[in-house]
A = this chain, B = another copy of it.
Amino acid sequence: MGLALRLAAAGVPVTVGSRTAERATQKVDEALDRWADRDLRIDARQNEQAASADIVVLATPWDAAVATASGLADVLAGKVVVSMANALQRVGEEFQPLIPARGSVAESVQAALPRSDVGAAFHHVPARLLGNLDQEMDCDVLVCADRPEAITQTERLVACIPGLRPVTAGTLSLAGAIEAFTGVLLNVNVRHKARAAIKLTGL
């Protein structure tokens, strides 16, 4: 929802999908109510309809990403699908990265969507920061995908949002490292009561 809000605030037409149109509408209304002073437009639809957009961001919890993607494989065929989930497990006070089948959530989603091109992005942007339109962002967003077209489209989406800079990392073979590193950032945030994001210096 944070991503939908930021994109809408940047003037990008956004449709939020959920299992039912009612649930999508409820979530979108809640978000728009909080930002009622802003001129934001976000559509709400059932997943199948939301998935007909030009580019689709899969923003489920990590353990629902593959199942959700599989069920939409036909609608998503021929499109770029952006994976942003991180497989993490809370162990005591610590967030520990898990290694999903195929090495990462993104690679698992790509395997579930052989007719789509998966781009991985947005992993390190703290969700709360993304959802708080009053706060300026200054984050680098690492992007990886196997096909150059998927990198281009994913980076174009990232660049729509002020304060986010897309940085090409490489193929989906790097997605596991990018996803797992989110666990490190979360721990840093818990330990230091901060909202750490990464900036690459020397670029």
Contact (A177, B180) CB under 8 Å given A188-B168, A203-B188: yes
Interface centre among A126, A170, A178 (most CB of B within 10 A): A170
- Oligomeric state, in copies: 2
Query: DSSP class of A's interface residues: helix, strand, loop or mixed?
Result: mixed
Chain B residues, Cβ within 8 Å of A167: 188, 192
Closest to A194 in B: B203
Stretch at the interface among A16-24, A31-39, A94-102: A94-102
Q: Sample 14 A-B pairs with CB under 8 A, ordered by A number.
A: A94-B173, A97-B177, A139-B201, A168-B188, A169-B184, A170-B191, A177-B184, A181-B181, A188-B203, A196-B200, A197-B200, A197-B202, A198-B198, A199-B201
